[in-house]
Amino acid sequence: MQQQVPELLLMDPEAAQALINVAFLGQFREPASPSDVARKIGMPANLAHHHAQKCLRLGLLFEARREKGKVLYQLAALSFRMRRDLSEAAHFEEAVFDRSARQMMESFLAAKERSYDRLRGDSERWSICTFGTVENPAPAAPINEDSTEPRPALFVQRTVKLTPEKYKNLLSRINELIQDVASERENSSAATCTIAALGFEGVAHDGLSDDSLTYSSFFTPQTEESR
């Protein structure tokens, strides 16, 4: 009987392309039926079954067992590795990033508006954008601790000068911090949160010179009283 393995190497371009449906495939970490997955993520049942059959054929899923008349599928591996010279693999990476970035932007803006709406009373709303220089870096913007929002939306961007060693060390520390956060599934006060980080050499837009620093933060805003 087939078992889930830690990692599989993909050489089939079609299989690599099918991985773009990460949200759908992620529901099969444990055995699950396409119809149950369809209800969970709001997908038409026939489309879920079609995707499951395709992923089964491509080796991304396998039939784990049958239960109460349902076929339960499971991911063939928790990690899939593919060569970058597979054109479909390159397109997959770009497509997943594009989709993730758009979805995160929409979700973040909705969360930011929710943060605004949960300000206490009729306080004025504040957003902060601070500019600095190499000689006088912009200070970190304070977080308002008085908000009723338990998990306020936060966006931080900063452009700095870094050596290759310091750049890699910084991204490694950020990655470890995000990956090491323990999941509190049994805690009634815990909720699903999305934490994302992005780092690259260069500037985000033409209006920012290479030797400048900028710090922008949009979060549950401060009132005059809390400043």
The CATH number given to whatever domain includes residue 23 is 1.10.10.10
Higher pLDDT: 153 or 173? It is 173
Domain count for the chain, please give it.
2
Whether 52 maps to a domain, the answer reads: yes
Give yes or no: residues 164 and 203 share one domain.
Answer: yes
Give yes or no: residues 130 and 209 share one domain.
Answer: yes
The Cα 28–Cα 37 span in angstroms is 8
Give yes or no: residues 71 and 23 share one domain.
Answer: yes
Give yes or no: residues 64 and 142 share one domain.
Answer: no
Mean pLDDT, residues 177-202: 83
User: For residue 224, is pLDDT > 70?
Assistant: no
Q: Count the neighbouring beta carbons within 10 Å of the beta carbon of residue 221.
A: 20
Mean pLDDT of the chain: 78
Single pTM value for the model: 0.57
Mapped onto helix, strand or coil, the DSSP state of residue 7 is strand
Cα 74 to Cα 30, 42, 105: the distances in Å are 6, 19, 30
Q: What confidence score (pLDDT) does residue 7 get?
A: 92
User: For residue 35, is pLDDT > 80?
Assistant: yes
Whether 11 maps to a domain, the answer reads: yes
Higher pLDDT: 206 or 95? It is 95
* 117, β-bridge pairs: none
Mean pLDDT, residues 175-204: 83
User: For residue 140, is pLDDT > 70?
Assistant: no
User: For residue 9, is pLDDT > 60?
Assistant: yes
Give yes or no: residues 35 and 124 share one domain.
Answer: no
User: For residue 143, is pLDDT > 70?
Assistant: no
Give yes or no: residues 124 and 82 share one domain.
Answer: no
Give yes or no: residues 12 and 86 share one domain.
Answer: yes
Whether 99 maps to a domain, the answer reads: no
Percent of the chain with pLDDT over 70: 73
Rounded to 5 degrees, φ, ψ at 81 are -110, 135
The Cα 107–Cα 23 span in angstroms is 15
Give yes or no: residues 137 and 68 share one domain.
Answer: no
Whether 224 maps to a domain, the answer reads: no
Give yes or no: residues 80 and 39 share one domain.
Answer: yes
Length of the chain: 227
Whether 226 maps to a domain, the answer reads: no
Full residue range of the structural domain in which residue 64 is found: 5-90
Whether 35 maps to a domain, the answer reads: yes
Q: What confidence score (pLDDT) does residue 131 get?
A: 63
Whether 172 maps to a domain, the answer reads: yes
Whether 77 maps to a domain, the answer reads: yes
Give yes or no: residues 68 and 142 share one domain.
Answer: no
Give per-residue pLDDT as tens, 89-139.
Answer: 556 667 777 878 888 888 888 888 887 777 655 555 566 666 666 667 666
